Structure 1
Amino acid sequence: MFRFKQFTMLRLAYLLTAATLLLTSLGTAQAQDALKTDTSLSIVPDDASFYASSLRNKEKLDAFLASKAYAKLKSLPYVQMGLMTLDAQLNDPFGPLADEENKAALAMLGDMFSNEIFVYGDSGFGDLLTLVRKLQMANTAAGIRSAIAGGTDADVAAGLVKAATDNLSLMKVPTTVIGFRLTDADRAKGQLARLEPILKMLLAQQPGLDERFKKTTVGESEFLTLNLDGALIPWEELENDPDVDLEAVRADYDKIKAHVTQMKLTISLGVHEDLLLLTFSPNAELISSLGNGKLLYDRKELAPLRKHAQERISSISYVSEKFADQAGALDQQIDSMLAIAKGALPQLPADDETRAEIEKDLDAAKDSLIELLPEPGALLTFEYITDSGFEGYSYSYAENKLLDGSKPLSLLDHVGGSPIGFSLGRSKYSPKTFDAMVKVLDRVVYHAEKIALPQASDQDRETYEKVSKLVKPLLNRAGETTKNSLLPGFKDGQTALVFDARIKSNQWFAGMPPIPGPLPMFELGCVLGVSDASLVRKAFSEYHAIAQELIDGMHEIDPDQVPQIKLPTPEGERVASGTMYKLDLPIEWGVDEQIAPNAALSEKVAVLSLSPVTTERLLTPTPLALRTGPLADRSRSLAGAGYFNSPALVDAVDAWLQSGIKMFGPLLAMGLAGPGGDPGQDPLAPILEQYNTVVSVIKCYKGYSSATYIENGVTVTHHASVYQDLDE
């Protein structure tokens, strides 16, 4: 009997679990359908170059208007005056809003911005960016060639025109769609009917434009359209301009003119289903194609968004892989710079053999740089509303050649516990990058010597050879030290920039008037993860020796210009968690003694800052005082982390402002009170009260945190912004 009951209960548990999973999957599927059908993603094609959407705008505004923070702001006299003035204008019986049509127009504007605003562009934007970049590089190259060869502005212009002619296929009108989701489409249609005669009247003032403006019907939708083309450009004015000489570039100019004249632009404004659309397109067929074919929503890059479809999505942005490649195009920029450099080679005072060597080295440098570049990828970012603010994710599909997300970020314990903010990341260990850089620098020096030394005087050449004989071995030693000691010492790869404001003083600078209470000073610290502290110490000891040998050698070469200087050996001071090396500033500078450039080293961490207090705080392990959000779990493997404590920053700035008010308040109070003022009342009191109210409202924004990690080769950043309403 017991076994039967046990079996029955177990089967019931399985059924409940299965039912729960089924309901969850059904809920997610329904949410995905709603996100696809009830937002602009229902019409955005899958080949869009970029897309951005802001959703639930009224919901966000209503949440603010219902908050205690807004209630407190609304109670301020100046805010009340402003609201009363606005209300009087809105309800003026003789004002523009006395007209019901104008009220409807205002209501339509509110509707437009209440639900969703979006924009997307097609692949033409990538081509346009590529064209602009090619023209910029051509202009730069032509300018350099002209400067070297003694050319004219006409030569530069000719180079630019030639580049435009070579890239006519990129010269096209990109498609742009700007849209607003409406709750009352009929009201918007009525307002467009009012707008039509106004636009006709305005366009009638421009010859040839009024006949290009018309109302078109697409399915059940009506649009106001304006059809333009390149023939409207005043080509004859350009051709007849006496200051413009086209003869030298006539053939290329004619090609550009013929191409641009055939280019068309259709501007459309109208209501399509529940969307108010403003479109720019090379043809009038865009509207009829909306929502047909493959959609952006179904692309694999948007899978993370579909996974979170049940959330209250508030914003979405997307950049395609192709557009990211065209927008960055670092490989093309490197090619262009290489072409410019090669174009300048004939002007160098060198023989053909040297020029050939330089060209070969330029190609090798280019290959090294290209190898370092990551493959481009799409970028998806979305955000949704939570009970505490906003949360979201960013997915970068570009190749990751920089970040290392293979282990936890131990430097999270070395940001001071609760700073104003920090940015932390771990990079991959890449000694090959340093080797490539050294190789390039070696070849630059080699070619510079080969070209410049024959041009130098005997005395200058003799001096250079002495200095070179001294410096080159020292540079080689420094390079070997960096490669074999410094880089392995910091192989950990973690770097953090920390911003805070905890150190305080009554007088930071000698010229600063004394104040009643201490003021915080903003602090900036750099924290580095250490893999081998002994290698770091060895590296800096060797750098010190190299610097001393350089000074001694230069003094021996030119004792009149270079004095004999003995560099002091850095004396470290033991602190709680390591050793600190600091430089005390001269007393006559009048700076608070808490300010002293310094560096500190422990077995696992190195810190640089302008205050020993800051450095010791960062050097000492202190758990991050953050228990929720993306950084709640510090044991997980991360590639990066970020944090911003807004109230802490506001408090630091407020301390300075309050101090200024205390110092200059009496003078300001006298001016506010005037000769007939009541000496028993403080005229600053109401101003300070309103100021403190504004500060308390600003502090409702508690800050931001983020965690970056690698997931199946994709770089993911999980972020959250926290808001907390006032208690009363």
Structure 2
Amino acid sequence: MCNNGLRWRFGLGTILASWAIITFPLSATAAEEGDDEYGHALDWVPADASLFSTSLQLKRQIDIVADSNAWQAFREIPSVAMVWQMAEMQVMNPDGPAAMFWQLMELPENQQLAAMLGEMFSNEIAFYAAADVEKLIELGAIIQGSKIAPLIQAAFGEADDPNQARLAMIVESIVEDPSLLAVPQAVLAFSIEDEEAAATQLKRLEVLANMALKQSPLDVQVEREEIGESEFLVLTLDGTMIPWEVEAPAGTNIDQETYDSLREIVSEKELTIALGVWNGYILLSIGEDAEHLETLGEGDLLADKKELEYLEEHLEEDVVGIQYASAEVVRSQVIVAEDVDDIVPDLEELINTWDQIPDSMRESLVEDLHSFADDVKGYLPVPGAMTSCTLLTDTGYESFTYNWTPQPRLDASQALEIANHLGGSPIIAIAARGTHNPEDYELLAKWVGKGIKYFQEFGLEELDDDDRELAKKAMDIALPILERIDATTREFLIPAFEDSQSALVIDADVTSKQWHSDMPESFTPLPMAEVALVMGVSDVESLAKAMAEYHQIAQDLVEAIRKENPEAIPADYEIPAPEVNETDDGTLYTWSLGDDLDEQIVLVGAVGEHVAAFATSTNLAERVLAEEPVAEPEALSGAEEPRAVLAGIDFAALIDAIGPWIEYGIRTSVLEGEGLDNDPADDPSQAQDICSQVKTGLEILKCFRSAWSEVTEDEDGVWVTHTVSEFTDLEQ
């Protein structure tokens, strides 16, 4: 009995264990599949998508705004309330222009349409385009003039009208590379819940569209086709439907052969538009055909790409937006080394054929053109893919962007100490650490030198005798000065700034009621923008020597000009020496800007132990010299962690700085510049009403509190931008 019991238990255990072993992979697979279902477009967008974007939880975000105290306060602003009431009266007036609309909305099918449109813009709107979109983006860049070759050729073309020259270049670009006119495979998707209602509305659209097409000169109609397991309305157009003229348009630089080639290229193009309901979405597809819709959601997906894997940790949070761009898409929007190679032959031809260039100059210009192109290419990006997502948080938004484009001139290997020298709580601040590249200055000096050489050898010859003599005298003064500047920069300035950290700080901590003597005095103190450029210093002694030498060079330049032309500069003029003051954190060198300006506005050079700054007020100069951690969000890395860039804006503080000036401007206009130093409470009611409403509007704008971003580099060389935006509602 006992043995039978053991055998029974062993047998049952074996069966259960065997069942578990067999079914565990299936269960795990099911769980994994469940985990991979994001509940949005990443579940089905194909892997060949080069461009992708989806916006999620749209209605929720709108509701947050609509339910906020800020929106209620906006509605209660008297001028807004009046306009709102007038609009409502017009909309609801049974005899008004909207009467026909409300009558139509009484029909059940139109109510269904309104509900469907509401759904379409409530949950998710997604877009993706396949690889052929890259060429279309490249064509767009050519049209905008952001590509070098068409821009140069349009500028130096034979046409009198540069716009016509550019048009000709666009056409020639298409003829040379017909793929630029590719019809991109793109899909716009709207998430819906009521598919039956959407199908009903598509039937209505089919009837209306075909009625409209019958009135058009086009011999086409909308067809209903089954693609995959869904029905779509399909409209197919082609280039032969365009009413081409036989002759090339007059007044353009397009020759007949080029025009005929363009017409042939366009005539061979087909455009297929498909609209249908698929898997909880209304899809609008544009492309040469609609075959890609048959396998939508099958096979390899965009979500499986390594670039999207970087978003995995964030997609479990409250996602409201996802974007992706392939390296090829990024490449199509920027100038890269290959673009420079493409333009060099055109510029070389221009040099050899332009009659305004002396023959003796052509050979050296061509040689320097190739050298300059090689130098420029070293500064151009090697495009990589980019992906990002945006999260909805309790205090606003948080976004993460991953960029595979190398950033060789940024250094994210160590902490950004200069972030502790941004004045504590600046309105705007941008801080960065670059790589130390003395060769950058070498290149600058090289091409400045070549420019001077060309002017001496060729430019002087183009001047008349008097101007040539003046230019030679100017060169006699300038060249020794430039040589001294060059020597000082190499010996002292570059070593002083080897740290390669820099920052731009904008604040408004100083106030005055009258910033300029010609300005009417204000009752309310007015903040003034303060700007500081802050740089990390590696060698304070070298910096001091550089500044002293530059000051002496400037004074010697004054003397040289005065010696050449005594009337140009007064005999007793000298470059003013600064007022020098010591602080706990360094030394301030201050220059006054004149008696007409408030004494708080000055030029200040500030030098501390590890930083130096140029500022427009002693207040800001002292604050950036002092070491104080910047008021950045806790979600960011913090001052002790490695990062290359930190940037932020205190938007609420910006509004606080702008507000008094807006009030000052309103009072100046209403009071016609009189009595601005009186209490605004005594102003005419018109001025008080306007100022009151503007103040309410500004308080609403301050609901956007701040935005801060940092840039770091991960162990794989991917550059990560982390941004935190904070919003706060108005109090009841």
Range into which the TM-score falls when normalised by the shorter chain: 0.7 to 0.9
Determine which of 494, 497, 503 is the counterpart of 1:487.
Answer: 494
Matched, 1:643 2:648: yes
Once residues 428 and 476 of structure 1 are traced to their aligned partners in structure 2, the CA distance between those partners, rounded to angstroms, is 26
Q: Find the counterpart in structure 2 of residue 722 from structure 1.
A: 726
**Pairwise CA RMSD of aligned residues?**
3.5
Of 703, 708, 713 in structure 1, the residue corresponding to residue 711 of structure 2 is: 708
The residue aligned with 1:47 is: 48
CA distance in 2, matches of 1:656, 1:708: 34
Corresponding residue SS for 1:54: strand
| CA 1:268–1:151: 2 relative to 1, 3 Å | closer
* Structure 1 residues 30 and 77: alpha-carbon distance in aligned structure 2, compared to 1, 3 A threshold: farther
- The change in CA–CA distance for 1:143 and 1:727 in structure 2 (over 3 A counts) is closer
Please give the residue correspondences for 1:303-702 in structure 2 after superposition, counting only pairs within 5 Å.
Answer: 303-346=309-352, 347=354, 354-455=361-462, 464-559=471-566, 561=568, 564=571, 565-587=573-595, 590-626=596-632, 628-631=634-637, 633-658=638-663, 693-702=696-705
Find out whether 1:180 has 2:183 as its counterpart: no
Q: In 2 relative to 1, CA 29–314 (structure 1 residues): closer, same or farther, beyond 3 Å? A: farther
Q: Against the structure 1 CA distance between its residues 504 and 554, is the aligned structure 2 distance closer, same or farther, given a 3 Å change threshold?
A: closer
Q: CA deviation at 1:350?
A: 6.5
SS at match of 1:491: coil
Question: What TM-score comes out, normalization by structure 1 length?
Answer: 0.85
Kept in 2, the 8 Å contact 1:31–1:310? The answer is: no
Query: In structure 1, what residue type is equivalent to 2:455?
Result: A
Over 3 Å counting, the alpha-carbon distance change for 1:563 and 1:66 in structure 2 is: closer
Distance 1:80 1:571 in 2: 56
Q: For residues 435-457 of structure 1, give each alpha carbon's deviation from its aligned partner in whole angstroms, at most 9, with x where no partner exists.
A: 11211222232233332345556
Deviation at 1:686, TM superposition (A): 7.8
Matches of 2:477 and 2:253 in 1, distance apart? 57
Q: Which shows bigger deviation, 692-701 or 474-483?
A: 692-701
1:154 shift after superposition: 8.7
After superposition, the Cα gap between the structure-2 partners of 1:265 and 1:350, relative to the gap in structure 1 and judged at 3 Å, is closer
Shift in Å, 1:142: 3.9
CA drift at 1:382? 0.8
CA distance in 2: counterparts of 1:163 and 1:691, whole angstroms: 52
Q: Secondary structure at the match of 1:501?
A: strand
C-alpha deviation, 1:646, in angstroms: 2.4
Structure 1 pair 553–469 and aligned structure 2 pair: CA distance change class (3 A): same
Q: 1:593 to 1:30 in 2, by over 3 A?
A: farther
Aligned to 2:273: 267
5 Å-filtered alignment, 1:109-188, equals: 109-133=117-141, 136=145, 137=148, 139-146=150-157, 161-188=171-198
For 2:60, give the aligned amino acid. E
1:665-723, Cα deviation, whole Å (9 max, x unpaired): 899xxxxxxxxxxx9x9788887776655444433332112221111211111111122
TM superposition shift of 1:552: 2.8
1:227 is the counterpart of 2:232: no
Q: Deviation per CA, 1:189-243: give whole Å up to 9, x if none.
A: 222222222222222222124x24322221332222221111112113x528665
Task: Give, in angstroms, the shift of residue 274 of structure 1.
Answer: 0.9
Task: Say if 2:155 and 2:162, in contact at 8 Å, map to a contact too.
Answer: no
Change beyond 3 A, Cα 1:323–1:101: same
Q: Counterpart of 1:636 in 2: which secondary structure? A: coil
- SS of the aligned residue for 2:705 comes to strand
Deviations 1:384-440 (A, max 9, x none): 112222112111110111211122122222222122221211111111111112112
For 2:436 and 2:194, locate their aligned partners in 1 and report how far apart those are by CA, in whole Å. Answer: 58
Q: Residue 217 and residue 404 in structure 1: after superposition, are their counterparts in 2 closer, same or farther (change >3 A)?
A: same
SS in 1 for 2:371: helix
**Amino acid across the alignment from 1:429:** H
Residue 255 of structure 1, CA deviation: 2.4
Residues of 2 paired with 1:442 and 1:666: CA distance?
A: 58
Against the structure 1 CA distance between its residues 407 and 99, is the aligned structure 2 distance closer, same or farther, given a 3 Å change threshold?
Answer: same
Q: CA deviation at 1:583?
A: 2.4
Number of residues of Structure 1 aligned to a counterpart in Structure 2: 683
Distance 1:245 1:647, change over 3 A: closer
**CA deviation string 1:570-602 (max 9, x = no partner):** 442323422222222222xx3222112222222
- The structural deviation recorded for 1:84 is 9.8
Q: Contact conserved, 2:400 with 2:722, CA < 8 A, in 1?
A: yes
CA drift of 1:266 comes to 0.8
Tell me, in whole angstroms, the C-alpha distance in 2 between the residues paired with 1:578 and 1:666.
46
Q: What SS does the aligned partner of 2:37 have?
A: helix
Residue 104 of structure 1 is matched in structure 2 by 112
Cα deviations by residue, 1:468-487 (Å, 9 ceiling, x for unpaired): 34432321221222222112
Partner of residue 208, structure 2 = 198
CA shift in 2, pair 1:563/1:517, >3 Å: closer
Distance (Å, rounded) in 2 between the aligned partners of 1:682 and 1:348: 70
User: For the Cα contact (< 8 Å) 1:90–1:97, is it kept in 2?
Assistant: no
Structure 1 gaps of 5+ residues are 1-24, 668-678
TM-score by length of 2: 0.84
Query: Which stretch of structure 1 is more off in the superposition, 436-445 or 394-403?
Result: 436-445
Query: In the superposition, relative to structure 1, how do residues 664 and 29 fare at CA in structure 2: closer, same or farther (>3 Å)?
Result: farther
Task: Tell me, yes or no, if the aligned pair for 1:533 and 1:603 is still in contact at 8 Å.
Answer: yes
Distance between the aligned counterparts of 1:26 and 1:578, measured in 2? Answer: 65
1:566: Cα distance to partner? 3.3
Deviation at 1:378, TM superposition (A): 0.9
Q: Identify if the C-alpha distance between structure 1 residues 685 and 169 changes in structure 2 by more than 3 Å, giving closer, same or farther.
A: closer
Shift of residue 85, structure 1, vs aligned partner: 6.2
Are 1:217 and 2:226 an aligned pair? yes
The alpha-carbon distance between structure 1 residues 520 and 28, as it changes in their structure 2 partners (threshold 3 A), is: farther
Following superposition, the deviation at residue 51 of structure 1 comes to: 1.3
CA contact (8 A) 2:508 2:530 kept: yes
CA distance in 1, matches of 2:74, 2:160: 66
| Amino acid of the structure 1 residue aligned with 2:330 | A
Moved more, 718-727 or 135-144: 135-144
Q: Distance in 1 between matches of 2:278 and 2:712?
A: 41
* Structure 2 match to 1:676: none
When residues 171 and 212 of structure 1 are mapped into structure 2, their CA distance, relative to the original with a 3 A threshold, is: same
- The one-letter amino acid of 1:257's match is R
CA distance in 1, matches of 2:597, 2:165: 57
Cα 1:557/1:626, change in 2 over 3 Å:
closer
**Contact preservation (8 Å) 2:578, 2:591:** no
